[in-house]
Amino acid sequence: MSEINSEMVKELFEEQFGSWEQARNNYKALDGVLAKEIQVDGFPFKVQFNPARIVSSAAKVDAKSIQERKCFLCKENRPAVQKGIDFLYKGKDHYTVLINPFPIFSRHLTIPMECHQDQLIKGRFDAMLELARQLPDYTIFYNGPKCGASAPDHFHFQAGIKGFMPIESAPLKMKVIYHSPKTTLSRLTSVMNGVIVMESNSIEDAAGVFDKIYSSLKVKEGESEPMLNILCWYDNGSWAVIIYLRSKHRPECFFKEGEDNILISPASVDLGGVFITPLEKDFTKITAGDISSILSEILISSEEFEATIEKIKSIL
């Protein structure tokens, strides 16, 4: 089976910038977006004012709206100019690597499955790790169907060029909760609750540990999987995986009116340390206190996290 690599992705960007005006302009606009740093509990959050992301942040993802729109990840509905690179996992799961025309990163990919299937990570975590291995310049991420995915009905990963999200390099306070020769699990002990960090040198072992974590998590009534965001990258023979356990899709400030409104719909990138504000008023006014309270609202509570950690420890 032939593999993909970062060079092929580089060529894809060059080709698309030459042929696709909208994408070219959106990437160019990224050079001019405003950004600032806000420290939260010693962690350097970036806040990015990115008006083009309103499409995603304000996306209607209720069942009715999803049913009534044409799926933008299905091949037949994608713009004719959009090209992709095939990624075949274990000879069966077919993905296409596409450039994301509404970028947050200077290089931003969307990686949908060929067929229209629900956004569910179960059984696909190993494919995510394999993608990270084949694209070591990128951090791969997964937004659960109720955790920021704007196409909850069509399975996809995304990827952003490494070196942009603070979580990749900021020193993190962690405590080890499980250790084996192949895989170590830790919990974050500062900045935010409900975050598990996995380090592993084996896809099979990491996938086995992930399945156990997954089976320990609660699934809300009427939902198809536990609320999750996942980031993962590969470096020098091993994988780093960050798993965010969520309790809520959008914070209250998203729905508030007037002064109290902050239009922010946090997903993997925000949790990786880059808060995206599509509206300038929010970029200007957001404080460390706002970020902190949004995080504690959308991630699971410390009581639930303690109980979950104990459950995971008991089955590993």
Q: Least Å distance between CB 116 and Zn ion? A: 4
- Which residues are bridge partners to 40 per DSSP? 43
Q: Least Å distance between CB 118 and Zn ion? A: 10
Closest alpha carbon to 170 in 153, 201, 192: 192
Q: Least Å distance between CB 113 and Zn ion? A: 9
Geometric angle at alpha carbon 258, from 65 and 254, rounded to 5°: 40
Count Cβ atoms within 10 A of the Cβ of residue 32 and give its class: 0-12 exposed, 13-18 middle, 19 or more buried: exposed
- The residue ranges that bind Zn ion (CB under 5 A) are 71, 73-74, 116, 154
Q: Least Å distance between CB 142 and Zn ion? A: 16
Q: Least Å distance between CB 74 and Zn ion? A: 3
> In the chain, what is the straight-line distance between the N-terminal and C-terminal CA atoms, in Å?
33
Which is it for strands 108-112 and 156-161: parallel, antiparallel or unpaired? antiparallel
Q: Choose between 73 and 274: whose C-beta lies nearer to Zn ion.
A: 73
Closest alpha carbon to 299 in 227, 224, 225, 232: 227
Q: Choose between 52 and 74: whose C-beta lies nearer to Zn ion.
A: 74
User: Cβ distance 178 to 213 under 8 Å?
Assistant: no
Closest alpha carbon to 271 in 99, 109, 98, 40: 40
Write the CB contacts of 283 (distance below 8 Å, at least 6 apart in sequence): 34, 36, 47, 48, 49, 277
Q: Choose between 153 and 282: whose C-beta lies nearer to Zn ion.
A: 153
Q: Least Å distance between CB 150 and Zn ion? A: 12
Q: Least Å distance between CB 73 and Zn ion? A: 5
In whole angstroms, give the CA distance from residue 184 to residue 14: 39
